[in-house]
Amino acid sequence: MPALSPRLAAIVDALPLRPGLRVLEIGCGPGAMAREIAARIGDGHVLAVDRSATAVAQAEAGCADEIESGRMSVRQSAAEDFELLPGEAPFDLAVAIRVGAFDGRYPQAGEKARARLRAALVPGGKLYIDGGDPLYEFAI
C-alpha cells in the first residue's frame, strides 16, 4: 500500500492518538489512514468503515497484516446506518474525512449519522472531520 499523502499524514498527526485507543474511521476508502492509525495506537483497535464494497475489499487487501494481528477490522456500512455489533465495545474517537454526512453535502444523512455515532462512542467520545487546520472537532 502506498504511503500516506501529506494531507492525510497531517490529519493523523493531529488526532489525539495514544496506545490502547479504540478508533472508528468512517469513510476509510482503501484503508491507508486506518493502517497508519493502527500503527500508532499499539494494542488499540481501528474499525475502518466504508459504504463502498470496493473500498472495503481494497482495505481488507491492503491492511491484511493489521487485520490478522487483531489491531484492525473492516466493515461495510454507511455512516447513517452504522451500529455496534452485539457485545462490541464503544469507540474512544471517530474520524471521518470527506464524508458527505458530516461535511454538509447530505444534511439528512448527517442527522442520522450523528445519532449513530453518539451510540457508538464512549461518553465524551469525539468525532474529527476535515475542514479545520487540518481537523475540526465535529459536535455530535
CATH of the domain at 27: 3.40.50.150
Structural domain range at position 82? 6-138
CA distances (Å), 47 to each of 75, 104, 132, 133, in order?
7, 24, 23, 24
**Is 37 a member of any domain?**
yes
**Is 116 a member of any domain?**
yes
**Is 79 a member of any domain?**
yes
**Is 124 a member of any domain?**
yes
**Is 119 a member of any domain?**
yes
Which pLDDT score, from 0 to 100, does residue 80 have? 95
**Is 94 a member of any domain?**
yes
Tell me the pLDDT tens digit for each residue of 45-89. 999 999 999 999 999 999 999 999 999 999 999 999 999 999 999
Which pLDDT score, from 0 to 100, does residue 78 have? 95
**Is 63 a member of any domain?**
yes
Question: H or E stretch including 96?
Answer: strand 91-96
User: 96 with 119: CB under 8 angstroms?
Assistant: no
Tell me the pLDDT tens digit for each residue of 12-36. 999 999 999 999 999 999 999 999 9
- CA angle (3, 19, 4) in 5-degree steps: 10
Name the pTM for this structure. Answer: 0.94
**Is 1 a member of any domain?**
no
135 vs 60: CA distance, rounded Å: 26
State how many domains the chain has: 1
Sign of the CA dihedral with 65 first, then 60, 58, and 12 last? negative
Tell me the pLDDT tens digit for each residue of 79-127. 999 999 999 999 999 999 999 998 888 989 989 999 999 999 999 999 9
